[in-house]
Amino acid sequence: DTGVSQNPRHKITKRGQNVTFRCDPISEHNRLYWYRQTLGQGPEFLTYFQNEAQLEKSRLLSDRFSAERPKGSFSTLEIQRTEQGDSAMYLCASSIQGVYNSPLHFGNGTRLTVT
């Protein structure tokens, strides 16, 4: 169990640029979640996958955001035409669906700064 891995750890970009983050979940976990955390707040749910299927998206996920999980393994979160309001910590988490009370395991996040 190597834990949930996220890359990059930090990303600084200029407004209007596109960015992509990667998440590698714990290998046997079939569910993968994306959350966003801003300063002074708790994480907010964005979207989640079961295997390769994206099952739910939050209203927070505007059209500029897209997430994929090809082949049900790693996932990418892309933000197009970034805005300053997108500056936040983006957290990925994984769990096993089908195991009772399986908690979420979070990665260390990608901190995005939009200048």
Partner 1 sequence: DQQVKQNSPSLSVQEGRISILNCDYTNSMFDYFLWYKKYPAEGPTFLISISSIKDKNEDGRFTVFLNKSAKHLSLHIVPSQPGDSAVYFCAASDEAGGTSYGKLTFGQGTILTVHP
Which positions lie near partner 1, rule CB under 8 A?
Answer: 4, 31, 33, 40-45, 48, 56, 91, 93, 95-109
CB atoms under 10 Å from CB of 98, counted, come to 9
Report the nearest approach of partner 1 to the CB of residue 15 (Å): 25
Report the nearest approach of partner 1 to the CB of residue 71 (Å): 20
Nearer to partner 1 by C-beta: 17 or 41? 41
What's the DSSP call for residue 104?
P
Nearer to partner 1 by C-beta: 34 or 114? 34
Nearer to partner 1 by C-beta: 13 or 106? 106
Residue 41 CA to residue 38 CA, distance in Å, equals: 6
In this structure, the strands spanning 19-24 and 31-37 are: unpaired
Residue 56 half-sphere exposure, CB side, CA atoms within 13 Å?
10
In the chain, the N- to C-terminal Cα span, in Å, equals 36
CB atoms under 10 Å from CB of 20, counted, come to 15
Report the nearest approach of partner 1 to the CB of residue 29 (Å): 9
Report the nearest approach of partner 1 to the CB of residue 43 (Å): 5
Nearer to partner 1 by C-beta: 14 or 98? 98
